[in-house]
Amino acid sequence: MPAPASHMPPASIQPDRKPSVDTLRRLVQSDMERVNQTIVQNMHSPVALIPQLAGHIVAAGGKRLRPMLTLAAAGLCDYRGDRHIGLAACVEFIHTATLLHDDVVDESDLRRGYDTANAVWGNQASVLVGDFLFSRSFQLMVADGSLEVLRILSDASAVIAEGEVHQLMTTNDVETTEEAYLEVIRCKTAQLFAAAAEIGPVVAGRPADQQAAMATYGRDLGIAFQLVDDVLDYSAEQETLGKTVGDDFREGKATLPVILAYQRGTEAERAFWARTIGTMEQTDADLAEAQRLMAKHGTLETALERSRTYAGSARAALLTFPRNAYRDALEELIDFCVDRGY
Amino acid sequence: MPAPASHMPPASIQPDRKPSVDTLRRLVQSDMERVNQTIVQNMHSPVALIPQLAGHIVAAGGKRLRPMLTLAAAGLCDYRGDRHIGLAACVEFIHTATLLHDDVVDESDLRRGYDTANAVWGNQASVLVGDFLFSRSFQLMVADGSLEVLRILSDASAVIAEGEVHQLMTTNDVETTEEAYLEVIRCKTAQLFAAAAEIGPVVAGRPADQQAAMATYGRDLGIAFQLVDDVLDYSAEQETLGKTVGDDFREGKATLPVILAYQRGTEAERAFWARTIGTMEQTDADLAEAQRLMAKHGTLETALERSRTYAGSARAALLTFPRNAYRDALEELIDFCVDRGY
C-alpha cells in the first residue's frame, strides 16, 4: 500500500487543526478490520460465557490504541506481510485480560458499592475469562512462531503484573514518591505500549536500534498518556467529555496530582489528603476541595509538564525512521495524547 | 544417573505394601531440589508482595505432583540434559497461578463467610500475583526456547481456563450430565497433568507416538485423580486424614457423586439435591443426608469405578515405554491416586 499523503506537512505542525487519533485510525483502517476479525474468531469457545463476556469487553474496548501502534509501527517499517494482524490481536487480548482482571474487586470495594462490568458476571468469571484471553494470546504468538515476539510480550505481561501489584501496595499511600508513581505507570501502562510498538520493526526484520527506538516511542508515549489520564480524572475538561471526574479520588489512588499536592501542602492540607486518600473517609464536598488544592499548588500543570517531557522523548525516537505517512500519524498521536489534557 | 532398583518387581505388585507417591518422590528428589531453587529464584521481584504471596502458596503447595510428572517423564525417556528442571518449574507456576485465581471469591461467597488464603491479601492481590506467575512461566519457556513446549503449555492454559469457566457455569446445576462433568475435569485438572507428562518425551527428542502416550498417561491419571478427589470430599476416609469433608457440597459443586445421586434419586431426593446444591439452602444435617443418599445409590462406588477405568488407560499408555525405575514409579503413582479412595 503506498503511503498516502506523505507529501503533506505533518499534522502536528498544521496550526489550524486539533491533533486527533483519526489520522492514524484512517491509515490502519483496513488492517484494523482484519484485526477485529481475528479477535472475534479467537474468542470462540464451546463455553458460551467466554465469547459473551470477552465480546462485551472487546466491543466496549474503546480506542484500540495498542493494536493500532503495532499496525502503524509495521507500516512505518514498510512491512508487507500479514503477521502484524495476528500480533496486534495478541496485544489487544493481553490488554483486555488486564481490564478484566482490573475489574476484580475486594470485599472492601463491594462494601463501598463499587460497580463495574464485573457486577454483571462476578469476580470469578472476570478472572477466568481474562485467563482464557491471556492464554489465547500466547497460543496466537506460538502460531506466529517468533520467539522474539514471545519474549517481548511475556516480558511485558510480567512487568504489567508487577506494576499492578506495586500500584495496589501504594494505593492510599499519600507519601508515595513521584519516582515510585512513575515506575508504576511505566510498568502497568507504558510497557504494553512499548511492546505493541516494538513488534512492528521486529516483524519487518529491522535492526536492534530501530526496535529499541520504537520501544522507546511506545514507552514514553504510554507514560505521557497515563500522566494525562491521571490529570483528566481531576479536570473540568473531562466533564465536558461526558466522563466522570474523581474516580481515582474515590478509589484512594495516589496519582501524581495527589502526591504533589501532599508534598506542597500545609499541615492542614496534608491532614486532608491523609483523611481522604489515606483512610478514604470522604464527604461529598471533598472532591471539590481536592481540586481547589491542586489548582492552588499547580499540580495538574506540573503533571502535564512531565507528560510533555515524555512526549518530547517519544517524538525524538521517531526521528530514527525516515518520514512517511505512518511517522506523521504516530507523531500526531503524541500530540493527541498530550493535548487531551488542556 | 543409573535407574535405581530396576531389578525389583514393580511396587504395585508387592502385595504387602500400600502404593505411595514416595517411590516417585525419592527417584526425582535431587531434580526436585533444583526445581525448588528455580521456583524461588524466579519468584523474585522488587515488589515485595509478589515473593511474599507466591512463596506462601508455593510453600503450601502440597505434593508437587505436576512437576514430578515432568521430571519422571524425562527420566522415563533417559533424558540427560537440564531443560526438564526449568520446565517443571513452569508447570508448577501455572498450577500455582490457577490456585491463586481459584481463590478469588464473589460477593455471595463472602456473604457466606467463605475463607481462603485470599482472606489475608484480598482478591486483587491473588489475581495479580497469579498473573505474574503465569507470565513468569512463559518467560521461562521462552528462555528454554522450544516452540513445541510453548505450544503445549499455552494450549493447556487456554483449556484450563475454559474448563474453569465451564465449571463455574455448571455449579449449582444438579442436572449436569456425567459427560459435561468429565469434560470439565478433563479440562481444568487433567490437561495440565497431560502437558506436564508430555514435556518429558519432548525435551528428550522422542517421536510423536511417545509424546502422545505420555500425554494420554497424564490426562487419564489426572481424570482418575480428580474423580477420586471428588469422592474423598464425601468420604469418611478423608476425615481420617484430618481433612474437611463436604467442601464441594457447601460450595454447591455438581460433582459426579451428586450428579449420579440426582439421576438415581426419587422425586423427594431430587428435591433435596435441588435445594442443597441447586439453591444452596443448607442446614447442618444436610451433609449427612447427602452421604446417606450417596451410599443408598452407590454413587461413590460408581465414581471410583470410573476412576479405575481411566487408571487402566493410563497404565496401558505406559507400556509404550520399556520398563525402568521411572516406569515402575509412574505405575505406582496411578495406584496411589486411585487407592486414596478406599
* B241 vs B224: CA distance, rounded Å: 20
Whether B101 sits inside 8 A of A131 (CB atoms) is yes
Q: What percentage of residues in chain A have a pLDDT greater than 70? A: 87
Looking at chain B, which residue has its C-alpha nearest residue A145? B147
Looking at chain A, which residue has its C-alpha nearest residue B152? A139
Looking at chain A, which residue has its C-alpha nearest residue B49? A165
Residues of A in contact with B122 (CB under 8 A): 106-108
3-class DSSP assignment, residue B302: helix
Q: What is the CATH number for A261?
A: 1.10.600.10
Lowest-pLDDT range of A123-132, B3-12, B182-191, B236-245: B3-12
Q: What is the pLDDT of residue A276?
A: 97
Q: What is the pLDDT of residue A118?
A: 57
Lowest-pLDDT range of A35-49, A261-275, B66-80: A35-49
Q: How far is B225 from chain A, CA to nearest CA, in Å?
A: 23
3-class DSSP assignment, residue B205: coil
* B112 vs B161: CA distance, rounded Å: 25
Residue B287 lies inside a defined structural domain of this protein: yes
Q: How far is A127 from chain B, CA to nearest CA, in Å?
A: 7
Looking at chain A, which residue has its C-alpha nearest residue B139? A154
**ipTM of the complex model:** 0.90
pLDDT in tens, A68-122: 999 999 999 999 999 999 999 999 999 999 988 987 866 555 444 444 545 557 8
Which residues, including other chains, have CB under 8 Å from residue A223's CB and lie 6 or more apart?
A182, A185, A186, A189, A190, A307, A310
Place of cell 493527541: A336
pLDDT in tens, A293-330: 999 999 999 999 999 999 999 999 999 999 999 999 99
Helices (H), chain B: 22-27, 29-42, 49-59, 65-76, 83-102, 107-111, 118-121, 123-144, 147-170, 178-185, 191-203, 208-232, 236-240, 247-250, 256-264, 267-273, 286-297, 299-318, 325-339
φ and ψ at residue A76, rounded to 5 degrees: -55, -35
Q: Which of A45, A168, A172, A253 to mutate to test the interface with B (most CBs of B within 10 A)?
A: A168
Residue A2 lies inside a defined structural domain of this protein: no
Q: Is there a contact between B233 and B151 (Cβ–Cβ < 8 Å)?
A: no
Q: Which of B110, B116, B142 to mutate to test the interface with A (most CBs of A within 10 A)?
A: B142
Is the CB of A192 inside 8 Å of chain B's CB atoms? no
Whether B106 sits inside 8 A of A124 (CB atoms) is yes
3-class DSSP assignment, residue A255: coil
Instruction: Find residues 103-142 of chain B whose CB sits inside 8 Å of chain A.
Output: 104-108, 110, 122-125, 127-129, 131-132, 134-136, 138-139, 141-142
pLDDT in tens, A182-220: 999 999 999 999 999 999 999 999 999 999 999 999 999
**Distance linking the first and last C-alpha atoms of chain B:** 36
3-class DSSP assignment, residue A279: coil
Residue A4 lies inside a defined structural domain of this protein: no
Residue B50 lies inside a defined structural domain of this protein: yes
Residues of A in contact with B186 (CB under 8 A): none
Range of the domain at A26: 11-339
The Cβ of residue B64 has, within 10 Å, a number of other Cβ atoms equal to 21
Is the CB of B274 inside 8 Å of chain A's CB atoms? no
Residue B111: pLDDT band with limits 50, 70, 90: very low
The one-letter amino acid code at B279 reads T
Whether B123 sits inside 8 A of A104 (CB atoms) is yes
Is the CB of A17 inside 8 Å of chain B's CB atoms? no
Residue B2 lies inside a defined structural domain of this protein: no
Place of cell 525419592: B26
Looking at chain A, which residue has its C-alpha nearest residue B101? A127
Is the CB of B172 inside 8 Å of chain A's CB atoms? no
Is the CB of B267 inside 8 Å of chain A's CB atoms? no
* B250 vs B51: CA distance, rounded Å: 32
Number of structural domains, chain B? 1
Whether B158 sits inside 8 A of A165 (CB atoms) is no
Helices (H), chain A: 22-27, 29-42, 49-59, 65-76, 83-102, 107-111, 118-121, 123-144, 147-170, 178-185, 191-203, 208-232, 236-240, 247-250, 256-264, 267-273, 286-297, 299-318, 325-339
Q: What is the DSSP string of A270-300?
A: HHHHIIIIIS----TTHHHHHHHHHHHHTHH
Whether A157 sits inside 8 A of B147 (CB atoms) is no
Residue A118 lies inside a defined structural domain of this protein: yes
Looking at chain B, which residue has its C-alpha nearest residue A157? B135
Residues of A in contact with B173 (CB under 8 A): none
Please give the angle made by the CA atoms of B143, B148 and B152, to the nearest 5 degrees: 100
Q: Is there a contact between B227 and B310 (Cβ–Cβ < 8 Å)?
A: yes
Residue A289 lies inside a defined structural domain of this protein: yes
Q: Is there a contact between A30 and B150 (Cβ–Cβ < 8 Å)?
A: no
C-alpha cell at A149: 515476539
Half-sphere CA count of A165, side-chain side, radius 13 A: 26
Residue A5 lies inside a defined structural domain of this protein: no
